[in-house]
Amino acid sequence: MQMVVAYNAAGDPEYIGRARPGAVSSAGEWQIAKVGYDASRNVTSLTFAAGVNDYTKVWDNRGTYTYS
């Protein structure tokens, strides 16, 4: 399993992606979660791209998905 993290402007993790070893970021083989924070920058939630935790999303498109 490989994991990648994208950070927001404040330096906090914003997206976490997981895929099988060797998967490329442009392939629909990723599970992508978005990290939610409260006003004190404490993690409060993890929501998934398109509301599913399947390994079917494209990491390069993480900003275009709806998360729930």
Asked if residue 68 is part of any domain, the answer here is: no
Asked if residue 48 is part of any domain, the answer here is: yes
Domain count, the chain: 1
- pTM for this model (two decimals): 0.93
Asked if residue 18 is part of any domain, the answer here is: yes
| Residues 10-66: tens digit of each pLDDT | 999 999 999 999 999 999 999 999 999 999 999 999 999 999 999 999 999 999 999
Residues 6+ apart with CB under 8 A from 22: 2
Asked if residue 64 is part of any domain, the answer here is: no
Q: What is the pLDDT of residue 36?
A: 97
Residue 60, SS3 per DSSP = helix
Whether the Cβ atoms of residue 19 and residue 30 lie closer than 8 Å to each other: yes
Asked if residue 53 is part of any domain, the answer here is: yes
Asked if residue 44 is part of any domain, the answer here is: yes
Residue span of the structural domain in which 31 resides: 2-59
